[in-house]
A and B are shown apart, each in its own frame.
Chain A
C-alpha cells in the first residue's frame, strides 16, 4: 500500500511539474526581460530591466563574456552577481532598482507611456531578428527598411506594429519566431533602418526564392538580392 501511495505521489508530482502548476514566481524571465516586483511606499510596480542592456553594459565592463542575446541565462546571472559583489550589493543575480541604478540603467515601469520610439525600435529589432538573423548585417538592415517602406506606402498599415502584425504578412509572426528576443546586431540594424538606411531603395517585398510558395511574389519586380533574400517592389 505504501508503495502504491509513493507511486501515485511521484506520478502526481511529475504531472504538476509538467503542466507548470506550482512554479515559483519569485523571478521570471519573460522575453529576455528580468522581472521583479518592487514595493515602495505601498505602490507595487512591475519593474523591468532589459537583459540586452544589462548584458551590453556588463560586457563593456568585463563582467560578462557571453553573447549579447537578451537571454537571462546562467552566464548573465553570474555576471550580475559578480557586479553586485564588487559594489557591495546583495549578490542575488537580479537586476533590481539598486543594481540597475549602479549600472546606470533606467528601469522602466509598466505604466510608462513615453516610449513610443523605443517600442518601434524593439518591434523592428524583433522582426529583423526573427526574419533575418542568419543574414549579413546589410541583409538585416534591409528587412527593417522594407517594414519602414511599407509604413510609408499607402497600400499598407500606417504604423510599424500594424505592418508587422498584419495577418500573413511575415512568416515569423505566423510561426511565433517574432517572440524571440532580438540580439544587439538586430537592435543596431533597427537603429540604422530608423535612421534612413535602405539598401533596397524603396522595396516593400522580399522573399527567399528557394522556399517561397506564394504565387504573387512572381508578379513583383526584383530590385536586388542580399544574401538569400530577393527584394522587390
Chain B
C-alpha cells in the first residue's frame, strides 16, 4: 500500500515535471519564433520611417522648388514694373519737350508699352487690394490718355493746352510713385528682401510695396470726361439709361407684363424674387413654364423685359437658324422691341444666340442691340438680354454725306463685296459714327469693314474667324 502510494507520488511528480518541461519548451520555442518577427517589425518600422523621411524630403524639395519658381515670377514682375515706372517717368518728361506730332506719337506709343508692362506686373504681384485697385486704375488711365491723344494726333489735329497740361499733372503723381518704389527697391537691396520669405502668403510682407501704390488717391487727377467715355472709363461707372423713358412701373405691373405679354397664352407661374438697384433698376422674378425654370428681370422704368436667364440641355437641333431668327424677331416685337432686324447669330451646338439691332430709316443701330437665346431642340426662347437697348436706344439725327461708292476705294483691292448696309456704330471712345458696313470676301476669309460715311475714315475692321465650331467676329 505504501509502495503504491510512493509510485503514485512519483508518477504525479513526473507528470508535473513533464508538464513544466513541456511549458518551458513551448516558451522557449515561442521566444525563438518571436525573435525574427521582432526583427521584421523593427526593420519594417525603420523602413516606414525611412520612407516617410524620403516622402517628407520630396515634398519639402518640391515646395522649395515651387517657392523658387514663384519667387522668380514675383521678382521678374517687380523689377520689370519698377524699370517701366522709371521709363514712363522719363518718357513723360521727354514728351513735354517735344514739338512735332510724329515724335509725340512715337513717345506716347512708348508710354503705352511702359504702362502695359507695369499693368502686367501689377496683376501678378500680391499687392493689397485697395492699393492695387488705385494703381491699376492710374496706369490704365495713363494708357487711355496716350491712346486717345495718339488718335487725335493721327487725325492731324492738335491737342489743346489743357490736354497737354494733363501730362504735367500725370508726371507729378508718377514722380511720387517712382520715388516710393525706388526707395523700397533700395531697401530690398539693403535687406536682401525675398518675396516668399517676407510672408506674402499672409498678406503682411508686401505692406511697403502696397503702400507705394497706395499713394494714388482716387481723385488725384481729373480726366476730361470726353476722352474717357470708352472702355476704361470712369464714365462707365455712371452710365445713363436713355432708352427706357421716365414712367416707373410697380412690381405688380411687371408681374402682369410677364404673364400677359411675355408669356401670353402660356401656362406660367411667376414669383417675385427681389429687385436690382444697379445702372438699370429691375424687378426680378422666377418664371416656371412647362416644368422649366427661368429668371426674368423687368425694368422699373418703362416696364420692358431686360433679361431672361435660362439653361438648356444638349440635344439635336430640330429648328434651323433662319426660323430661330424669325422667332426671335417676333418675340421681341410682341414684348415692346419694335422694328428690330437680325444682324448676327452664333450657334453653339443646339443653342443659338441671335443679335437683333434696332433699325431707323434703313440704318442698323448697332449700339441698340438685343440678344435672344434660342434652344434649337425644344424650339423655345430660353434667354433674352436688352441692356444695350435700355442704355442707348433713342431716335438719332444721322447724316450720311458721302455715298457708298464714294467711300468704297478705301477698301483696297482683291475683294468681293458680299453685302453693304448703312450702320451706326459706337467707337471705343464712346462716340457714335455713321458708317457704311461692307461685308467682304478676301482670299484669307471674310471681313466686316466700317467706313465713316462723312470722313471716309476706316473706323473698324473685324474678321470672321472660326473658333472651334463657332464663328466669331474679332
Whether A117 and B472, one on each chain, are in contact in the complex, defined by CB atoms closer than 8 angstroms, is yes
Establish whether residues A154 and B278, one from each chain, have CB atoms under 8 Å apart when the complex forms.
Answer: no
**Provided the pairs A59-B314, A154-B137 are in contact, do residues A233 and B278 lie with their beta carbons within 8 angstroms?**
yes
A62 to B231, CA, bound (A): 46
The answer to whether B40 and A3 touch across the interface, beta carbons within 8 angstroms, is yes
- List chain B residues, Cβ under 8 A from A24: none
B interface with A by C-beta (< 8 Å): 36, 39-40, 43-44, 47-48, 51, 54-55, 58, 119-120, 122-127, 129-130, 132-134, 136-137, 140-141, 144, 203, 231-234, 236-237, 239, 274-280, 282, 284, 295, 297, 307, 309-316, 346, 348-349, 351, 353, 369, 371, 373, 383, 385, 387-388, 465, 467-469, 472, 474
Size class of the A contact interface (CB-based, 8 Å): 35 or more
A225 CA to B388 CA, complexed, in Å: 22
Find chain B residues with CB under 8 A from A191 CB.
348, 351, 353
A225 touches B274 (CB 8 A): yes
Collect the chain A residues with CB atoms within 8 Å of residue B232's CB.
Answer: 152-154, 158
- Residue-wise, chain A 175-195 has the 8 Å CB interface mask toward B (1 for contact) of 000000000110011011001
Give me 30 A-to-B residue pairs in the complex whose CB atoms sit less than 8 angstroms apart, sorted by A's number.
Answer: A4-B36, A7-B44, A15-B54, A19-B54, A60-B315, A106-B469, A114-B465, A115-B467, A115-B468, A117-B467, A117-B472, A152-B232, A155-B136, A156-B136, A157-B119, A166-B123, A189-B311, A192-B309, A192-B373, A192-B385, A196-B369, A197-B309, A198-B387, A199-B276, A199-B295, A202-B239, A202-B279, A203-B278, A214-B129, A216-B130
Known contacts A3-B40, A118-B468, A185-B311: does B51 contact A192 (CB below 8 Å)?
no
Stretch at the interface among A69-77, A86-94, A125-133, A136-144: A136-144
Q: A183-227: which residues lie under 8 A (CB-CB) from chain B?
A: 184-185, 188-189, 191-192, 195-203, 214, 216, 222-225
Secondary structure type dominating chain B contacts: mixed
Q: Which 10 A-B residue pairings sit nearest by Cβ, starting from the closest?
A: A201-B278, A157-B123, A224-B276, A154-B140, A138-B295, A167-B126, A154-B232, A138-B309, A162-B123, A155-B133
Also in contact, A201 and B467, with CB within 8 A (given A4-B43, A195-B346): no
Q: Which residues of A contact B297 (CB under 8 A)?
A: 199
Contacts of B353 in A (CB 8 A): 191, 195
Query: B474 and A117: CB pair below 8 A?
Result: yes
Determine the residue in chain A with the shortest Cβ distance to B218: A155
With a cutoff of 8 Å between Cβ atoms, the chain B residues found around residue A168 in the complex are 126, 129, 203
Contacts of A59 in B (CB 8 A): 314
Query: What is the distance, in angstroms, from A110's C-beta to the closest C-beta of chain B?
Result: 16
A62-87 CB mask vs B (1 if < 8 Å, else 0) is: 00000010000000000000000000
Report if A38 contacts B (CB, 8 A): no
Residues of B within 8 A of A185 (CB): 311
Asked, given contacts A60-B315, A224-B275, whether A155 binds B137 with beta carbons under 8 Å apart, the answer is yes
Determine the chain A residues whose CB is within 8 A of the CB of B136 once the complex forms.
154-157
Distance of A158 Cα from B282 Cα, bound (Å) = 29
A222 to chain B: which residues have CB within 8 Å? 277
What chain B residues lie within 8 Å of A198 (beta carbons)?
385, 387
Distance, CA A117 to CA B349, complexed state (A): 16
* B309 contacts A141, C-beta separation under 8 Å: yes
| A8 in the interface (beta carbon within 8 A) | yes
Are B236 and A224 in contact, CB atoms less than 8 angstroms apart? no
Question: Smallest Cβ distance from A174 to chain B, in angstroms?
Answer: 10
Smallest distance from the beta carbon of A214 to chain B beta carbons, Å?
8
In the complex, chain B residues whose CB is within 8 Å of the CB of A18: 55
Select from chain B the residue with minimum beta-carbon distance to A53. B468
Residue of B nearest to A223 (CB): B278
Q: Which residues of B contact A224 (CB under 8 A)?
A: 274-278, 284
CA distance A222 to B203 in the complex (A): 26
Residue pair B47, A11 in contact (C-beta under 8 Å): yes
Q: Provide the bound-state CA to CA distance between A12 and B51, in Å.
A: 8
Chain A residues lying within 8 Å of B314, measured Cβ to Cβ, are 56, 59-60, 68, 184
Cα distance A15–B349 when bound, in Å? 47
- CB of A153 within 8 A of CB of B40, answer no
Find B351's partner among A68, A106, A138, A188 (CB 8 Å cutoff). Answer: A188
Query: With the chains together, A233 CA to B238 CA distance in Å?
Result: 11
**Closest chain B CB from A207 CB (angstroms):** 13
Q: Which residues of B contact A137 (CB under 8 A)?
A: 295, 309-311
Contact between chains at B236 and A158 (CB < 8 Å): no
Give which listed residue, B122, B130, B316, B467, contacts A118 with CB less than 8 A.
B467
Cα(A162)–Cα(B316), bound, Å = 36
A195 to B239, CA, bound (A): 19
Q: How far is the CA of A196 from the CA of B371 in the complex (A)?
A: 8
Whether A202 and B278, one on each chain, are in contact in the complex, defined by CB atoms closer than 8 angstroms, is yes
Residues in A neighbouring B239, C-beta threshold 8 A: 202
For the complex formed, measure the closest distance between the CB of B381 and the CB atoms of chain A, giving whole angstroms: 13
